[in-house]
Structure 1
Amino acid sequence: MPETFKSAMDKAYDILRTEHQPLKAIFAPKSVAVIGATDRVGSVGRTVLWNLISHTFGGTVFPVNPKRHSVLGIQAYPTVSSIPEPVDLAIVVVPAPGVPDVITECVEAKVKGAIIISAGFKESGATGAALEAQILERARRGNLRIIGPNCLGVMNPLTGLNATFAGAMARPGNVGFISQSGALCTAILDWSLRENVGFSAFVSVGSMLDVGWGDLIDYLGDDPHTHSIVIYMESIANARSFLSAAREVALTKPIIVLKAGRTTAAAKAATSHTGALAGSDGVLDAAFHRCGVLRVDTISDLFDRAEVLAKQPRPQGSRLTILTNAGGPGVLATDALIAAGGELAELSEEAIAHLNQVLPTHWSHDNPIDILGDADPQRYAKALEIAAQDPNSDGLLTILTPQAMTDPTQTAEQLKAYVETTQTSTASLKHKPILASWMGGADVAAGEAILNQAGIPTYAYPDAAARVFSDMWRYSYNLRGIYETPTLAGLDAEIPDLFEIPARGRPLVETIIQTARQADRTLLTEAESKQILHAYGIPVVQTCVAQSEEDAVHCADAIGYPVVLKLLSQTITHKSDVGGVKLNLADADAVRKAYQNIEAAVVADPASFIGVTVQPMVKLDGYELIMGSSLDDQLGPVVLFGSGGQLVEVFEDRAIALPPLNTTLARRMMEQTHIYRALKGVRGRPAVDLAALEQLLVRFSQLVVEQRWIKEIDINPLLARSQESAPFIALDARIVLHGLDIHLDQLPRLAIRPYPTQYLSAWTMKDGTFLTIRPIRPEDEPLMIQFHKTLSEQSVYFRYFHLIKLSQRTAHDRLTRLCFIDYDREMALVADYTHPDTEAHEILAVARLSKLHGTNEAEFALLVSDRYQCQGLGTELLKRLLQVGQDEQLEHIHAEILADNSAMQRVCEKLGFSLRSIEAGVMQATIEVQQITR
């Protein structure tokens, strides 16, 4: 989904972030010091030095060893500071206890990057962990970035840099490889040499003391030589950094992950339905879905998927057309496709009619398209052309088996010629991947080579090719979910509904939580839990608290019979397990008897009984769902949705997602469950209100995001019915808080930064116009289209440094990059005006602050609708961006401004920016953020 244009300012931004990228010193150093270099045969110090000098990388190598005058014939230096030239990269191979002092020397010598190959750190226990803490503290005194410790090192095969102790150099290529295991690095290196796989970078990260997944993904995302990124992962570590970087880069470069430990049993919270269902591996899958990463299970899949996603367009749907000259392989491919989540394309009537004209009478007349065993190359090419034009198809798989009339080489030539001519001129193929399975080993090798050279991936077996297509579709589906514009169906006022409902209920929620904590309680009662849900706009069943038999009868009389009685307890989690639920009570006598039975059921622990709740006996004439939240050790709070009821853990029909959610992500959660098919309507039963259910999930995720003292939530069951009044109602609820030993700064952090409501506030323009300044949201895409229609050519020119057509500025692919932002990486504030009569929203201005990769700096941009210029709006927005910069502890903020744009220059000068000319017609405005007076 690449952008259709790139402005001069965007290009300048790309150059700026590349030049400021600190990891450049590690991957493209001009000088390297090997600290701990030695002549001793078999030592790591000798191997690293030899690897550096035996491969030309265009830089100078300096051995550092206080006990040697030279190492391998090269002059050695006693310390880094004694080297007569500036050092970009230090490779450290000294014993672990000496590494902190070495890092201190590197910082003092202004070394930019270090690779610590030495072992003996946190993997060895508390002493090693303490050494790591020292190393990081000393590195932070300067701008030194560190890969490792306990790693194999780094290779840049494109330049010849081999800063590792591996036994061979990787081949150059366009795949960036990152591994958490040094041992697996060597195994994959051996495998890649056999399979002729090349790399743009080959990185062993070790324990990731400093440089982590996010840093490396950012670097490889910016690297023009890297076309895809593959990762071997053992732990996700800094989840927010990983997800943030992957989400941005996956849009233009595929990221494929092989995650170890899929079968490791997850620690499950025995007291929580949600905790029992949300195993850690399932949560990790949800994280990968959320950032557009494709997960695979084998090393061969890791590189194969990277290659095919880099070469072929992503499918727009899951429908595959299979073209074959033999029925059996077509059936195998179909079985594999369906099992992997894909589907066969249904041939259109027009396609069938055209195929009838070019194929023998006895062709299959269906998909798979069996063109029969005597098919010649021309028949293949004609059938492929017709199948490619079919709008019902999202991808093509061509299968060839050697038969008497088959010519694998010429058939490949025909397909190659067709693809080369049509993909540049025909829209039908531009978004349709083409895969091939040339079966037959040596007999088809020449044809396979022709197809591979044409960028058409080939597979020995058709079932493997079908699974590849399904993976491609899954990758495309996940990305589309991230950047598909959410809806606000059913909402009359967009902003107020999202933020005012919890704003009104938040004081009550905070009171309930703090009261429980002050009473040394972590388990809220059912009544308290339902109050919290109601405060966030989640419908709950009428619930009356009774602390005596007579209270229970009064409640029942008021509600109306039949009723349900449930144990009210501050200690017992699952009421039904102890006989604490009595159903279908028809009169007062039944209520009294039920009350007595519930109290007697917990007589062994009288303190656990504080009364009962009385609720109407709701007819279960709909679907029982579960909605919940629990904590994952690595990714923090997660949200769960699926089939609910008493057998929730038996059926395990659930989907997991990371909060916060929007309506698109909520719908994707629902689509992953089996119950979703029923919710859409089945066997004559009408569908439930799916748009309302989306909103319910969004509000629930907002509760999880905002109320950080909540550790677990179970809503089970949430009854979903096909009726206009009360279509959803929470029949039971359970909330657990974090313990009193947890402080505010110890609460788990969300893996994805939520909507920053702290930057939402009212403001009045000079002419008295009242508006709201707030962070941008994905739902703003339609408003942004209208905003761009209000801009003059001069405003567009001043912002983008050249004129851009409205159709380009408002293209969905571009606006997704502007509206679907990661608040960890950038902030965009919009001036939102609500018309007093129509209540329609209009965006009057946009201001954006974008962090530069690998730095603590950011660039701003500002655009105000022509009708509202000279009203102080631009100045106010820039002031607020500076406040964001201070909150984010940035060092500098700058922007490039055309010399003709005097108004923008005056705004910058007024707020304390310094201006300087950087090229003809272009000024740079810069401010030191922490020196700004608040």
Structure 2
Amino acid sequence: MTKDIIQCKDPSHDIWREQRHPLDCIFNPRSVAVIGASEREGSVGRTLLWNLISSPFGGTVFPVNPQRHSVLGIKSYPSIGEVPEVVDLAVIATPAATVPQVVRDCVALGVKGAIIVSAGFREVGEQGIALEQEILAAAQLGGMRIIGPNCLGLMNPLIGLNATFAGAIAQKGNVAFISQSGALCTSILDWSLNENVGFSAFISIGSMLDVSWGDLIEYLGDDPHTQSIVLYMESIGNAHAFLSAAREVAMDKPIIVLKVGSTAAAAKAAASHTGAMTGSDEVLNAAFRRCGVLRVHTISDLFDMAEILAKQPRPKGNRLSIVTNAGGPGAIATDALISGGGELSELAPETLARLNQFLPAQWSHHNPIDILGDASCDRYAQTLEVVADDPHSDGLLVILTPQAMTNPTATAEKLAAYSKLGKPILTSWMGGAEVNAGTQVLNRANIPTFPYPDTAVRLFNYMWRYTYNLRGIYETPLLPKDSDQHAPDRALVSQILNHAISGDRPILTEYESKQLLSAYGIPTIETEIAHSADEAVAIAENFGYPIVLKLHSEIITHKTDVGGVCLNLENAAAVQEAYEAIASRVNAINPEAFLGVTVQPMVKLEGYELILGSSLDPQFGAVMLFGMGGQLVEVFRDRALALPPLNTTLAKRMMEQTRIYQALKGVRGRKSIDFPKLEQLLVSFSQLIVEQPQIREIDINPLLVSSEVMIALDARVVLHTAADIDQRPAPAIRPYPNKYSQPWQSLKGDRLKIRPIRPEDEPMMVQFHKTLSEESVYLRYAHVVKLNQRISHERLSRICFIDYDREMILVANRSLPETQEIVGVARLSKLHGTNEAEFALIVSDHYQHQGVGTELMRRLLEIGKEENLEAIVGYILHSNYQMQSICRKLGFAFHPDADQEMIKAVFNLKL
């Protein structure tokens, strides 16, 4: 019996179609024109041409120079229009003023790629910026992609392409290097030739007029010859594109960045604590953590980490076991480990017992494991084998100092057999010529070795932090049981914000701010407004004493600065006196500022005062801040930054970045706070930020937390003015697309909710896959995929933790009395280098023939139109008649496919 199973080919499957990417014309051109080729000794145009013909890449090179008939013995052409063949790549080395016309000429002839090495653009001011805009406008008309301007060029050592004016071509390897500094490129190139380091790509990106970090990371992420990507970055450019591409690639290939040039706080004049405390470099660190990029701080670390991550697995945690034949180096390594946030692993009792069986009685009996200066190669090997089995160890460092009884080479040869332990092994062979042969043995065995133990430990600390960041991105967050029952009161929020905006008032009152927080489920202390002393007394009597009075004003925001706060008022007389005192002080400053007072119960400040806030970064948009709060918030500066939106896992990771986090667990007899509740509060706060773009800055200070209470005592909200709201930076991470969440009723009458997938859905996805038959799986994936493969966390995390800009996955969600279930999944994945997407869709066996598949597909088409895609394609098995029927009904066209088992279905969204 045919089944209503809807399938398309999985991008990870081996029949995935290869198509020419727009950047292929730059990285793998069939023909290159050097526009500005020259015979002049030492000129850029001569060097470019010489490099291209000296390292044959399998294509044709055409010099273009209107003044010469030949250059370096090769026939030259007066213009690109005279070149007799179609040109894939134009390398442009003419004066800046001539480049816009050169680009226009190239576009007219169908040239699809250009490298502009010419300088004299934005780096020289407004005139150069204007030239860049001319170039970009011309290139976009013809779909031309540009690297540069003001760059060294590009090398693809794997095919012998050297489209640079550097002195030599890089060696072949598996590391892709991208740099904004051409001068640094030449230095790195010289270093790499000396150190025998090879590259799969070597790119000087220049001013990033068109091709940016995100474009290159995406392209190199698809390149099977690239194992890791290292970046020298001076500016991030398009932050959204960088984060999106990096997050997609980092799980499979390490992305390691050396970012130079931290700037001062971008908001010195900001009135809020948060705005004054966020700086672009701190925000950049938060962004790197969010997308799984590893930031290092030296050039040597950049390439050392690329080497280590290519040779050894990532550690699961931060616990290191150190084996050494000398106490001093072990102590040095320990200091470096602890100061970098790592920990010494605590040896398990069974490990100690096994070591005692063969080590001398004088060994250290703890970690670092000092096996003494007379350690033989066999003693090293036995110790390593035992320690590698210790369940408390996440990584190993073996230190050797050359002593009279030590044989560095023989020891290295023994240890070479332990290169694949399932956890990383690093070594430090200390010394000079005496240990060189041993280090070569270790390196050939893919065991990284370093001359100093503190260097090895610093790199181990980088490794576990990289794991920590990736785990934070893809660890399944918890879904609160009442998540669907307590949706924000968006209508109330809209009313509050519109009232302030209509009054041309950029700052909400404290009362309005607390209403705003309450609407998003953030607990606040009960507060009412009093416009007279008698009204204040009446409210106080209702609340019960003690009472707090605070200035209610639409003008003055920092109430303590004007004596606008009176605490611990015990009776009616105290309330009346406080009201009159606040009114008197404020009226003396500005009579229009006093609108009464807010009255609220006095809360015992037993607990921890935290700050939770958000402000805008010019590159990344809204940025969240969490840390120690109170009046000394700027003094202690204990805070962490993160990019919203958050889930509970990301909220926990944010808190873990602070020192106050340890205190919140409970110290000196205090009980731990309710961490799940605080995590959910941070998630709700991040939702508020991303859903209400009218908010420019927001502070909750203090947020009082203890084992019994969690409440926002004070809040301050600053809105965009009508003049600046259109200039606000776009969010770096696209929030959950609520607009694609809609109810629907099946043909059987069951009420479902079709909505975008979310990270919390992973457990439901596991159950969903258990409902699928082998036939359903085959029709979806075009081959049999075992259940344990389909429900692995690594696979499902990539489905549930998606970038909603790059793909959209819809689930058909059915609510049951005690639980929920997913009964259908539809996926729309953008194809790299195109404005098209491929669909994939499958329905649970027990929910087929109820119209679920048709409805999911219809909604994919709607989303494709909304996202301005040009086309949606899918590959359907010939035997999947139901899928073909659904596609015909919805208007797909069918085409033969190179794979004889498949039919290609295409829906053109631009018709």
Shorter chain as denominator, the TM-score bin is over 0.9
Equivalent residues in 2 for 1:775-786, closer than 5 Å: 775-786=756-767
Alignment CA distance shift 1:289-1:22 (3 Å): same
Equivalent residues in 2 for 1:233-248, closer than 5 Å: 233-248=233-248
Asked whether 1:792 is paired with 2:778, we answer no
1:678 aligns to what?
Answer: 663
Displacement after TM superposition at 1:317 (Å): 0.8
Of 501, 512, 519, 1:528 maps to 512
1:758 aligns to what?
Answer: 739
Structure 1, gaps ≥5 residues long: 1-6, 424-428
Asked whether 1:20 is paired with 2:6, we answer no
1:618 aligns to what?
Answer: 603
1:729 aligns to what?
Answer: 711
1:717 aligns to what?
Answer: 702
Displacement after TM superposition at 1:608 (Å): 2.5
Alignment CA distance shift 1:221-1:21 (3 Å): same
Displacement after TM superposition at 1:655 (Å): 1.0
Deviates more, 1:576-585 or 1:800-809: 576-585
1:772 aligns to what?
Answer: 753
What one-letter code is carried by the residue in structure 1 that aligns with 2:275?
G
Identity of aligned residues (%): 65
Of 509, 526, 531, 1:542 maps to 526
Say what the alpha-carbon RMSD is for the aligned residues: 1.5
CA contact 2:263–2:279 (8 Å) conserved in 1:
no
Q: Secondary structure of 1:332's partner?
A: helix
2: CA distance, partners of 1:913 / 1:91: 41
What one-letter code is carried by the residue in structure 1 that aligns with 2:62?
F
2: CA distance, partners of 1:67 / 1:588: 96
Larger RCO, structure (CA 8 Å, separation 6 or more): 2
What one-letter code is carried by the residue in structure 2 that aligns with 1:700?
F
2: CA distance, partners of 1:868 / 1:10: 25
Equivalent residues in 2 for 1:291-330, closer than 5 Å: 291-330=291-330
Asked whether 1:702 is paired with 2:687, we answer yes
2: CA distance, partners of 1:897 / 1:303: 44
Displacement after TM superposition at 1:335 (Å): 0.6
1:859 aligns to what?
Answer: 838
Asked whether 1:448 is paired with 2:439, we answer yes
Equivalent residues in 2 for 1:158-197, closer than 5 Å: 158-197=158-197
2: CA distance, partners of 1:307 / 1:732: 50
Deviates more, 1:868-877 or 1:438-447: 868-877
Q: Could you report, residue by residue, the CA deviation over 1:872-914 in whole angstroms, capped at 9, with x for unpaired residues? A: 1111111111111111111121111111111111111111111
2:333 aligns to what?
Answer: 333
1:501 aligns to what?
Answer: 487
CA contact 1:271–1:573 (8 Å) conserved in 2:
no
Q: Secondary structure of 1:533's partner?
A: helix
Q: Could you report, residue by residue, the CA deviation over 1:688-711 in whole angstroms, capped at 9, with x for unpaired residues? A: 110000100000000000000000
Q: Secondary structure of 1:661's partner?
A: coil
CA contact 1:776–1:830 (8 Å) conserved in 2:
yes
Equivalent residues in 2 for 1:464-863, closer than 5 Å: 464-488=455-479, 491-494=480-483, 496-497=484-485, 500-502=486-488, 505-602=489-586, 603-723=588-708, 727-744=709-726, 746-835=727-816, 837-838=817-818, 840-863=819-842
What one-letter code is carried by the residue in structure 2 that aligns with 1:685?
R
2: CA distance, partners of 1:172 / 1:599: 76
1: CA distance, partners of 2:111 / 2:542: 77
1:426 aligns to what?
Answer: none
2: CA distance, partners of 1:168 / 1:514: 63
What one-letter code is carried by the residue in structure 2 that aligns with 1:920?
Q
Asked whether 1:357 is paired with 2:342, we answer no
1: CA distance, partners of 2:581 / 2:130: 58
CA contact 1:485–1:779 (8 Å) conserved in 2:
yes
Equivalent residues in 2 for 1:98-247, closer than 5 Å: 98-247=98-247
CA contact 1:277–1:654 (8 Å) conserved in 2:
no
2: CA distance, partners of 1:240 / 1:263: 20
1:906 aligns to what?
Answer: 885
2: CA distance, partners of 1:460 / 1:326: 15
CA contact 1:396–1:435 (8 Å) conserved in 2:
yes
2: CA distance, partners of 1:116 / 1:551: 73
Displacement after TM superposition at 1:634 (Å): 1.1
Q: Could you report, residue by residue, the CA deviation over 1:731-781 in whole angstroms, capped at 9, with x for unpaired residues? A: 00000001220244x332111111110100001111111100000111111
CA contact 2:56–2:160 (8 Å) conserved in 1:
yes
Deviates more, 1:56-65 or 1:74-83: 74-83
Q: Could you report, residue by residue, the CA deviation over 1:616-663 in whole angstroms, capped at 9, with x for unpaired residues? A: 111001111111001111111011111110011111111110000000
Structure 2, gaps ≥5 residues long: 1-7
CA contact 1:709–1:747 (8 Å) conserved in 2:
no
What one-letter code is carried by the residue in structure 2 that aligns with 1:709?
Q
CA contact 1:522–1:737 (8 Å) conserved in 2:
yes
Alignment CA distance shift 1:263-1:110 (3 Å): closer
Displacement after TM superposition at 1:269 (Å): 4.3
1:4 aligns to what?
Answer: none
Alignment CA distance shift 1:14-1:401 (3 Å): farther
Displacement after TM superposition at 1:310 (Å): 1.6
Q: Could you report, residue by residue, the CA deviation over 1:790-846 in whole angstroms, capped at 9, with x for unpaired residues? A: 1111110011111111111111111111111111100000000112x33x1111110
What one-letter code is carried by the residue in structure 1 that aligns with 2:813?
D
Q: Secondary structure of 1:169's partner?
A: coil
Deviates more, 1:55-64 or 1:347-356: 55-64
1: CA distance, partners of 2:516 / 2:263: 36
Q: Secondary structure of 2:744's partner?
A: strand
Alignment CA distance shift 1:512-1:715 (3 Å): same
Alignment CA distance shift 1:164-1:461 (3 Å): same
Asked whether 1:927 is paired with 2:911, we answer no
Q: Could you report, residue by residue, the CA deviation over 1:654-684 in whole angstroms, capped at 9, with x for unpaired residues? A: 1110000000000111111111112111222
Displacement after TM superposition at 1:717 (Å): 0.3
2: CA distance, partners of 1:201 / 1:908: 41
Deviates more, 1:912-921 or 1:697-706: 912-921
2: CA distance, partners of 1:90 / 1:12: 35
2: CA distance, partners of 1:715 / 1:14: 53
Displacement after TM superposition at 1:15 (Å): 4.9
Q: Could you report, residue by residue, the CA deviation over 1:425-446 in whole angstroms, capped at 9, with x for unpaired residues? A: xxxx22x100000011111111
Normalised to the residue count of structure 2, the TM-score between the two structures is: 0.97
Asked whether 1:438 is paired with 2:423, we answer no
What one-letter code is carried by the residue in structure 2 that aligns with 1:929?
L
Q: Could you report, residue by residue, the CA deviation over 1:548-594 in whole angstroms, capped at 9, with x for unpaired residues? A: 22232222222222111212222223211222211111222222222
Deviates more, 1:165-174 or 1:881-890: 165-174
1:3 aligns to what?
Answer: none
What one-letter code is carried by the residue in structure 2 that aligns with 1:813?
E
CA contact 1:772–1:832 (8 Å) conserved in 2:
yes
CA contact 2:9–2:875 (8 Å) conserved in 1:
no
In the alignment of these two chains, the number of paired residues is 902
Q: Secondary structure of 1:19's partner?
A: coil
Displacement after TM superposition at 1:82 (Å): 2.4
What one-letter code is carried by the residue in structure 1 that aligns with 2:292?
G
2: CA distance, partners of 1:929 / 1:8: 20
2:382 aligns to what?
Answer: 382
2: CA distance, partners of 1:14 / 1:356: 55
2: CA distance, partners of 1:39 / 1:519: 69
Deviates more, 1:78-87 or 1:842-851: 78-87
CA contact 1:9–1:896 (8 Å) conserved in 2:
no
2: CA distance, partners of 1:598 / 1:77: 84
